[in-house]
Chain A
Amino acid sequence: MKILATYNIKGGVGKTSTAVNLAYLAARDGYRVLLWDLDPQAAASFLFRVRPRVKGGGKALIRGTRPVDDAIKGTDFERLDLLPADFTYRNLDLMLDSAKKPARRLASLLAPLRAEYDVVILDCPPSISLLSESVLHAADLLLVPLIPTTLSVRTLDQLTEFLGGFAGHKPQVLAFFSMIDRRKRLHQQIARDLPAARPEFAATIIPALSVIERMSVERAPVAAFAPRTQAALRYRELWREARERARLADPPAVP
């Protein structure tokens, strides 16, 4: 089981769109996939039409009084399950703080699901917190969407530096430019130059496209409702890069 996480300290950079589309594409490839919507705003749960509620709330999950697999819901798509968001997730930091080894807690909660899933994708809320640290420790690959600005790139550097301080397991980083506005010269320039110079950058960029915004109307991944669009093509390319970077074994044969 490989754990992928979409992470950025900033909000509105395309984390959830990426998590939802990559989860869908992984399941379509034949992987057994779990997407955990860790964001109390519950955008991923909304997109999959799953009610954002976990019995006992985040506290029951973090404390282990309710098994994680009890809260899992199937989506409309074969092999793709969702662990929904809950409004109590806004306090996950406090809950983690009172748990033993909080930075390792997410990894230990996911460990029992190892036989059931090939891929787990964590859709993180925008923050730097104990929750983020626990996500960084659990993940094998961090997918970091960035808006092509100098400040955004600085936050990536900070993240890389922070990970450099980890002892033992460190996630790989796959940064990619998201929400590229083709009308902005600066966007075009940064998106062209940086990936060539820095190995942690993906070759794929995700443009700002209205079809991606339509996901909230269709309540489905763009790769599902508009598979022939430019957006779907880009997510497929990004998934291919993520799959290679995470060294994911071939999926089981689809029955």
Chain B
Amino acid sequence: MAEASPDPVPPISGASQPPVPQLPSGSGFRLAGADRRATLRRIWLDTFDWRLYRAGLTLEQVSRAGAAELRLTGRDGVLITAEPLPAGGGRALPKWPLQIAGLPAGPLAEQLAGVIGVRALLPVVRATSVLHEQRALNGDDKTVARVTADQMSVTFPAAARLPCRLAVRPVRGYQAQADRLAAQLGALPGVSTDGPAPLETALAAAGRRAGDYSGRIDVDLEAGMPAQAAMAVVLTALLDTLEANVPGTIADTDTEFLHDLRVAVRRTRSALKLGGQALPAGTRAQFAPQFKWLGDLTTLTRDLDVYLLGLPGMTAGLVGAAPADLDPFGEHLRRSRASARRNLLRGLRSARFAGLRQDWRQALTAAAERPRRKPPVQALAAASIAAAHQRVLAGGAAITADSPPERLHDLRKRCKELRYALEIFASLNAPDAQWRAVKELKGLQDCLGEYQDTEVQRAELRTFAAQMMAQQSAPAQTLLAMGEVAAGLAHRERAARAEFDSQFRQFARPSGQARIQALTEQAGQASR
């Protein structure tokens, strides 16, 4: 078919009036036919952390008179899947943000599920396109391509009018002539042939760029930088991440806003502990308790999120009980979460939280503006990583078969501190050495995480059961099913505990230690 087969000629962008420019005589082509017009309302969608963009995908809701669809394309603009949306005007269209369960069931939802996971799809750009289409005729007056001029106005995240964008769609069998036409159009004044994708153009016009948020510590520390300035850069980036996740947490858009907010808080606390001495005197003492308060404020809601996210897995793992037996438990978790969230929201809307953010940013700005010249950041990095590494080695070596669970939980915290130290100073290390160090640590972290999570969840399960009994909301079959879940958790807990020794041996072997020492020596040498 003329629509589907030919390779699309790259779009052409540039300012031009009228929408489709006139070709010079002697070009061998002319634009003719009725100028077909259409107005499209376009919403580009992605998760807050750009999972679709990072996977090379673009999702767009396109609606025009009487019809709407969701279109998933690759980065090359080639359509992968389209899902028609119910007709009936704006009221029938999806109300974004939505998680995967809110999308129409079908191939599109299936493809997206593997990429976006538990995250919600949010509008990243809203725009209106007025399209003018004309036919391009060759010397035989045969249509060889359709030329579309797209005049797009961005309405979100900021209002902007984009330069007119031309696209040449070849008619089947006329690719070579369409290529020549595109080259001629591209050579016209004010028109270029290498326009970026519409999403990126629209974002740029609105002052954003695709992929401008990630949960990682995305800072570029320079060698020789004063440690105080470096810590201010790192902690400011963490404060930005924390603040970026507050609206989504308050709106309960998806569970990962709170998760990323908590990670930013934990990293801040670790950075204060490991590198706080580089900041002006009194900073750590003033802010460490504040961030502990903030971390504690978020814990209960996150624990319940983890439970609820794991509930389908728990249900699927039941052997004796029926899946529906856990419904009252799920209901109890949802009620508990609603209650925990009320407390969380009070905290996030409190003057204390607003004051903390304001005071912390001021303190960091001041630290960045007037840094002490010494020590350099490499010395701080070497000392922090070495100290965190030593604490992991000592804590792990002290654990025996008789050690209580708390010892392993403490070791997990030390591992997180080492992980954060590696991540905070990552830009100072050779990427390969950094990657190997993190990979080795991750195996131990996963084991300790599984052990603590299952141990805590099992203990919490008892608490939940007691609460449900007290509220007379626990039928016998639900308690039996919860018992089965507890048994499954106990089994996983024992397996993780049994795996600990080999995981720690693996981490603590001489080659791993040498790798961390090389990282710290490298940083230390650079500081001298």
If A74-B172, A74-B173, A81-B172 touch, does A49 touch B1 (CB 8 Å cutoff)?
no
Interface residue ranges of B130-152 to A (CB < 8 Å): 135, 140-143
Contact present for A81 and B2 (CB under 8 Å): yes
In Å, the complex CA distance between A81 and B1 comes to 6
Against A, the Cβ 8 Å flags (1 = close, 0 = not) of B1-26 are 11101100000000000000000000
If A78-B2, A116-B1, A255-B67 touch, does A72 touch B135 (CB 8 Å cutoff)?
no
If A49-B142, A50-B142 touch, does A72 touch B173 (CB 8 Å cutoff)?
yes
Contact present for A73 and B171 (CB under 8 Å): yes
Let me know if A134 is at the binding interface, CB within 8 A: no
Which residues on B sit within 8 Å (CB–CB) of A253? Answer: 84
Which residues on A sit within 8 Å (CB–CB) of B135? Answer: 76
Task: Name B's interface SS.
Answer: loop
Against A, the Cβ 8 Å flags (1 = close, 0 = not) of B425-454 are 000000000000000000000000000000
Residues of B within 8 A of A (CB-CB), count: 17
In Å, the complex CA distance between A74 and B1 comes to 7
In Å, the complex CA distance between A71 and B6 comes to 13
In Å, the complex CA distance between A51 and B140 comes to 9
Which residue of chain A has the shortest Cβ distance to B171 in the bound complex? A74
Let me know if B464 is at the binding interface, CB within 8 A: no
Contact present for A49 and B140 (CB under 8 Å): yes
Query: How far does the Cβ of B64 sit from chain A's closest Cβ, in whole Å?
Result: 9
Interface residue ranges of A69-101 to B (CB < 8 Å): 69, 71-76, 78-81
In Å, the complex CA distance between A79 and B5 comes to 11
Interface residue ranges of A166-193 to B (CB < 8 Å): none
In Å, the complex CA distance between A71 and B5 comes to 12
Residues of A within 8 A of B (CB-CB), count: 21
Which residues on A sit within 8 Å (CB–CB) of B69? Answer: 255
B1's partner among A32, A48, A50, A76 (CB-CB below 8 A) is: A32
Contact present for A79 and B3 (CB under 8 Å): yes
In Å, the complex CA distance between A76 and B144 comes to 8
Contact present for A76 and B173 (CB under 8 Å): no
Interface residue ranges of A43-84 to B (CB < 8 Å): 48-51, 69, 71-76, 78-81
Contact present for B1 and A79 (CB under 8 Å): yes
Which residues on B sit within 8 Å (CB–CB) of A51? Answer: 140
Which residue of chain A has the shortest Cβ distance to B6 in the bound complex? A74
Contact present for A73 and B1 (CB under 8 Å): no
Which residues on B sit within 8 Å (CB–CB) of A48? Answer: 142
Which residues on A sit within 8 Å (CB–CB) of B5? Answer: 69, 72
- Residues of B with Cβ closer than 8 Å to A? 1-3, 5-6, 67, 69, 84, 135, 140-143, 171-174
Q: List 6 A-B contacts (CB under 8 A).
A: A32-B1, A72-B173, A74-B1, A74-B172, A75-B171, A79-B3
7 nearest A-B pairs in the assembled complex, by CB-CB distance? A74-B2, A74-B171, A73-B173, A74-B172, A49-B142, A76-B143, A32-B1
